[in-house]
A and B are shown apart, each in its own frame.
Chain A
Amino acid sequence: MSTPLQRMLGAALAGTLGAGSLLAAEEPRQPWSPGIETSGYEWNQMRGEKLIALSQQGDPLRGEIAYEVCKGCHEADARGEIDGSYPRLAGQHATVLIKQLTDVRAGVRDNQKMYPYANEHVITPQEIADIAIYLQGLQAPAENGLGSGERLQRGDDLYGDHCKECHGRHGEGDADGFYPRVGRQHYAYLLREARMIRDGERRNAHPEMVDVIDSYSEDDLAAVADYMSRLPGARTEASAKSP
């Protein structure tokens, strides 16, 4: 016959020892929607909450509060990580952020790691617009991840031929076209995403971009990612003066 205290201690001990053997909680699973692998795929289809978030007036003050849940990975100043594990979000176009976030939520861009922190139970469609406008207004910190710097001429050539038209001469992207600002993004992130786009694994990719970089070797991908990571990401005073 055990005393209540003994039973309590026993239960506490069992809890301690048993903790590791219990199954971990099932996290919210990202849904799957047809993407580039499906015939009839339409890039950046305007529907659902993407349309809602794009039509909302974003409020950067509310966005700063709602951004709280993103900080644990993308950092308080949205600089991401130098090693490219998480992209820099500061200074990105609001339209691009809304497109990518809603693509993840809809399951067209696969990202199970992020989904539990970005789904509709955590961030409302209005907050998507708020966060996006807040991040767009943040100054990107000076330092970002760069490549080796060994094949920048090759990167320059490829960028001029294939990328500049959409992503801009300075890597500034195009807010209206939903083309991301790539200048001063972390190299390893750019390389990883470019590889996934080439290989059909980034399922929300632009089909024309897949065609363009389809023949790129690993070295070419690295060269152009390195080149992009060094672009200013905006028209600078120096570049504005050059022809």
Chain B
Amino acid sequence: MACMMLAASLAAADEQDPTRALVQTECAHCHGSEGNATPPSFPKLAGLQHEYLLKQLNDYRYGRRESATMQPIVESLSGSQVQDLADYFSRQRRTIGTPYLKGMVPLGRRVYHQGDRERGVPACAGCHRPDGGGTDRSPLIAGQNSAYVLVQLRAFHNDQRSNDRGQLMRTTAARMTEQEMVAVSEYVAGMDVIPAAP
């Protein structure tokens, strides 16, 4: 009974807050209500930089980032709804993730913080920061789901994702080995998540 009342009051709250209602109908199924997606192949959106979220959503809309799932969803949204969603997810607190291949974490840590000098792989820490928190130019990576990160690294590596600034991620991923991409994905998933400023 209490449970039903809570559900009813939550539904009422959603009616009052159109963004939360939008999240429930359009986003939560894959990305979670607070943007901490549990299926490992879906990205966590919680805590991502507002600018980054906005850019990705608009890139889906205009086909600069390809996804048969995301494009129709974004196309159905108004410009201000996209703004509201970017705003909403950027304010959520990201949860810590889980590395599945724990044996890969030491290599991932080394690549993340040192790169590879011989092959000219820059340290991920340079742009994404040593704590994985990212900047206005480079997204938060700490705690991100490893399977999602790996799929994105491979897509950059193979030139299948091409909405990165100045081809920076395509160049970097192309210089990485498959093993390094797996290792970095596992390492970032388990990084501590530094709470964003309130």
Contacts and interface: CB of A to CB of B under 8 A. Distances in A.
Given A25-B159, A27-B167, A72-B127, A20 B122 contact: no
Given A26-B159, A68-B138, A71-B126, A113 B171 contact: no
Interface residues of A, number: 29
Interface in A96-135: 113-114, 116-117, 119, 121-122
Given A19-B154, A20-B178, A68-B135, A25 B117 contact: no
Secondary structure dominating the interface of A: loop
A48 B156 CA distance: 32
Contacts, number: 87
6 tightest A-B contacts by CB?
A: A72-B122, A72-B126, A71-B126, A113-B120, A25-B159, A122-B166
Given A15-B154, A23-B158, A69 B126 contact: yes
A83 B127 CA distance: 22
A24 B157 CA distance: 5
B135 A72 contact: no
Interface of B: 115, 117-118, 120, 122-127, 130, 135-138, 151, 154, 156-159, 165-168, 170-171, 173-175, 178
B184 to A, nearest CB: 13
Contact of A25 (B115, B127, B171): B171
A22 B158 CA distance: 6
B169 to A, nearest CB: 9
Contacts of B136: 65
